[in-house]
């Protein structure tokens, strides 16, 4: 599906802190706007007389009647401060849809790797894949964050897993708290990816360092570069 890139105005409907400094923002979806899961928009953040654009991946799916984003608020970040101050009902312009990080829906095993808010486009991709009734292959997610306070949307992931036997996810913490309470995987996503090689399509989203490391490991272990799709934040 190809959509022309246009400017739209959206109204902030909801803002919820889902993890430390991570906010889920829901905006109204302009009537004529559509997108492919994995794509992003550029918000035009007012900056004096002009505006500064910042990219954010859409975490909702086309059938939702809102546009959802998952944004990490950086203490001195320009857009971060704007979103932090933004009240419910306020309007913001954006441009989109943009990006080529989209799912190949053909019958292949899909393996997603996200770190931090890199989960945003991947949540949209996974939800839309699971929504297609004809899904006949496993969909896996490896989600890495630093510690327990950085985990978000586990409730949503659990629910998706309960509803879809073909979906499974694993969370790994690179620096779990010293309480010893964390029972799950420890270490970085790169420490665990090798256990899951196989005939997969890989979709990576997160920092440049994570994407580079995972790509290197995959390619060194025989994965074809064309089977590795990625988005860098």
Ligand X SMILES: Cc1cc2nc3c(=O)[nH]c(=O)nc-3n(C[C@H](O)[C@H](O)[C@H](O)COP(=O)(O)OP(=O)(O)OC[C@H]3O[C@@H](n4cnc5c(N)ncnc54)[C@H](O)[C@@H]3O)c2cc1C
Nearer to ligand X (CB atom), residue 99 or residue 138: 99
Q: Are strands 109-115 and 200-206 parallel, antiparallel or unpaired?
A: parallel
Closest CA to 127 of 68, 47, 212: 68
- Which residues here bind ligand X, judged by CB under 6 A? 40, 54-57, 69-72, 74-80, 99, 117, 120, 231, 233
Cross-strand partners of 173: 145, 186
Minimum gap (Å) between residue 52 Cβ and ligand X: 7
165 annotated ligand binder: no
Classify each residue of 134-152 as buried b or exposed e, where b means 16 or more C-beta atoms within 10 Å of its C-beta.
ebeebbbbbbbbbebebbb
- Considering the complex, state which of residue 98 and residue 197 has its C-beta at the smaller distance from ligand X: 98
Provide the minimum distance between the beta carbon of 170 and ligand X in the complex, in angstroms, as a whole number. Answer: 21
Beta bridge mates, 185: 172
Find the shortest distance in angstroms from Cβ 108 to ligand X.
24
Q: 26 a known binding residue?
A: no
Alpha-carbon distance values, 107 to 51, 137, 139, 200, 210 (Å)? 43, 7, 11, 10, 27
Please tell me whether the peptide bond between 85 and the residue prior to it is cis, using omega within 30 degrees of 0: no
Taking the complex as a whole, how short is the minimal distance between the CB of residue 77 and ligand X, in angstroms? Answer: 2
Q: Which is nearer to ligand X, 196 or 212 (CB)?
A: 212
Least distance CB 220 / ligand X (angstroms): 26
Structure tokens at 14: 């909801």
The reply, when asked if residue 174 is annotated as ligand binding, is no
CA distance 230 to 49: 35
- Please, which residue, 3 or 197, has the CB nearer to ligand X? 3
Q: Is 169 annotated as a binding residue?
A: no
Give min distance, CB of 221 to ligand X, in A.
27
Which residue in the shown chain puts its C-beta closest to ligand X? Answer: 77
SS3 track for 106-156: CCCEEEEEEEHHHHHHHHHHHHHHHHCCCCCCCEEEEEEECCHHHCCCHHH
Residue numbers in the known binding site are 54-57
Residue numbers in the known binding site for FAD are 54-57
């Amino acid at each position: 599906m190809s959509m022309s890139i246009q400017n739209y105005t959206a109204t902030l409907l909801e803002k919820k802190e889902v993890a430390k400094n991570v906010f889920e923002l829901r905006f109204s979806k302009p009537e004529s706007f559509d997108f492919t899961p994995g794509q992003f928009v550029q918000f035009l953040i007012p900056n004096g007389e002009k505006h500064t654009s910042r990219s954010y991946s859409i975490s909702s799916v086309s059938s939702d009647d809102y546009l959802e984003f998952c944004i990490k608020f950086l203490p001195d970040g320009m857009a971060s401060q704007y979103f932090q101050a933004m009240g419910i009902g306020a309007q913001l312009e954006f441009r989109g849809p943009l990006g080529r990080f989209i799912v190949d829906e053909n019958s292949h095993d899909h393996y997603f790797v996200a770190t931090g808010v890199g989960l945003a486009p991947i949540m949209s991709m996974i939800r839309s894949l699971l929504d297609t009734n004809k899904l006949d292959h496993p969909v896996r997610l490896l989600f890495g964050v630093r510690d327990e306070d950085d985990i978000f949307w586990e409730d949503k992931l659990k629910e998706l897993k309960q509803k879809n036997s073909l979906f499974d996810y694993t969370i790994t913490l690179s620096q779990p708290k010293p309480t010893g309470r964390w029972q799950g995987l420890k270490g970085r996503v790169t420490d665990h990816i090798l256990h899951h090689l196989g005939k997969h399509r890989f979709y990576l989203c997160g920092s440049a360092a994570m994407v580079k490391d995972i790509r290197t490991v995959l390619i060194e272990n025989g994965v074809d570069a064309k089977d590795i799709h990625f988005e860098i934040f």
